[in-house]
Amino acid sequence: MEFTYNGKTYPCQIRRKQMKYIRIHVREDGSVYVSAPLHVPVSVIQQFLEENAAAVANRVEAVSAQKAAQHCFADGAVQYFLGKKIRLHYTDRPCHTTLEQDVLTLFARTEEEAQHAFRQWMISHCVELYRKVGREVYEHFTQAGYRVPLARIEVKDMTTRWGSCTASSGRISMNFRLMQYPVECVYAVFYHEYTHFMEQNHSKAFYRILYQMFPAYDKWDAVLKQKG
Ligand SMILES: [Zn+2]
């Protein structure tokens, strides 16, 4: 049996049981099965499925997405570093995480350990890069005649923002996850945050300065918005 929701077809298995009501289950692997009383006609089961199609389909999608996210850090999985694809390679011999060509060797036995090692490796790299890009952007603003402080940079783990600027204390916080994107994205966020030293809000004046300083802003901002 199957049901369709939003143009997508979901297969499901039926299991007959000594029971009173029809029940739908979404398993951990995203498959659907329906348990139904022994004598309920198939048409009734089908109708029940169709009535609950939205809820079941959403559940299947959620479970599948969760599963996919978990496998991002499996041995052999693909990750991104500065916009380039790299492949994870587990080793059970204690070592520093190293990137050679496009293979990232990490000391890990489970996906959880690999995720942790990957994250530490990204953080250790971003400190140096962010300092360099931050200084470059600062010098560019200064040369253009803007009065901005040389920002103190903090690396943060943020889930909803790429960066933030605290103008009063001359501080810029940067998300370490930016390290997965092309370096131009890092520049885009720095130009954005540096512009906040002059304009707190995303006003017309804000964008006038931002586009003057970094004309390709929209292009790289779109890359960041794409993946979310
Ligand atoms: Zn902003």
Identify the structural domains of the chain with CATH numbers, from first to last.
2-71 (no CATH), 72-121 (no CATH), 124-227 (3.30.2010.10)
For residue 222, give both structure tokens: 């779109």
pLDDT digit string (tens) for 29-41?
889 999 999 999 9
Dump the DSSP string for 144-171: TT-----PEEEEE--SS-SEEEEGGGTE
Nearest CA among 69, 67, 70, 63 for reference residue 110: 70
Tell me, what DSSP letter sits at residue 174? E
Distance 1 CA to ligand 1 centre (A): 51
Distance 162 CA to ligand 1 centre (A): 10
User: How high is the pLDDT of residue 158?
Assistant: 81
Q: 147-176: buried (b, 16+ CB within 10 Å) or exposed (e) per residue?
A: ebeebebebeeeeeebbbbebeeeebbbbb
Q: How far is the CA of 155 from the centre of ligand 1 (A)?
A: 17
Amino acid at 218: D
Please give the distance, rounded to the nearest whole angstrom, from the Cα atom of residue 203 to the centre of ligand 1. Answer: 10
Region 13-19: mean pLDDT is: 93
pLDDT of 73 > 70? The answer is yes
Ligand 1 centroid–CA 77 distance in Å is 33
Q: Is the pLDDT of residue 91 over 90?
A: yes
Structure tokens at 47: 């109708």
Distance separating alpha carbons of residues 1 and 47, to the nearest angstrom: 11
Q: What is the pLDDT of residue 157?
A: 85
Distance 219 CA to ligand 1 centre (A): 16
Flag whether pLDDT at 227 surpasses 60: no
Which has the higher per-residue pLDDT, 72 or 145? Answer: 145
| Mean pLDDT to the nearest integer, 207-220 | 98
The pLDDT score that the predictor gives to residue 228 is: 44
Enumerate residues 6+ apart whose C-beta is below 8 A from 158: 164, 173, 175, 177
Q: What is the mean pLDDT of residues 68-95?
A: 89
| E strand or H helix at 181 | none
129 CA from centroid of ligand 1 (Å): 21
Query: Average pLDDT, stretch 167-178?
Result: 95
How much distance in Å is there from the Cα of 194 to the middle of ligand 1? 9
Cα 185 to ligand 1 centre (Å): 14
pLDDT value at residue 61: 86
Predicted pLDDT of residue 57: 92
Cβ contacts of 123 within 8 Å, gap of 6 or more: 155, 176
* Ligand 1 centroid distance, CA of 190 (Å): 10
Instruction: Please give the distance, rounded to the nearest whole angstrom, from the Cα atom of residue 193 to the centre of ligand 1.
Output: 6
Q: What is the mean pLDDT of the chain?
A: 92
- 3-state class of 190 per DSSP? helix
CA 63 to centroid of ligand 1, rounded, Å = 34
Once rounded to an integer, what is the mean pLDDT over residues 128-137?
Answer: 97
For residue 159, pLDDT over 80 is answered with no
- Select the more confidently predicted residue: 228 or 133: 133
What are the C-alpha distances in Å from 18 to residues 1, 48, 49? Answer: 20, 18, 19
Ligand 1 center to residue 143 CA distance, Å?
22
Query: Which among 104, 111, 25 is positioned nearest to 67, based on CA atoms?
Result: 111
Ligand 1 midpoint to CA 154 (Å): 16
CA 125 to centroid of ligand 1, rounded, Å: 24
Backbone angles phi, psi at 59, to 5 degrees: -65, -45
The C-alpha atoms of residue 74 and residue 106 are separated, in whole angstroms, by 11
Instruction: Give the separation between CA 181 and CA 126, rounded to whole angstroms.
Output: 12
Contact 24, 56 (CB under 8 A): yes
Distance 204 CA to ligand 1 centre (A): 12
Q: Which pLDDT score is estimated for 70?
A: 64
pLDDT exceeds 70 at position 69:
no
Instruction: Kindly report whether the global pTM for this prediction surpasses the value 0.85.
Output: no
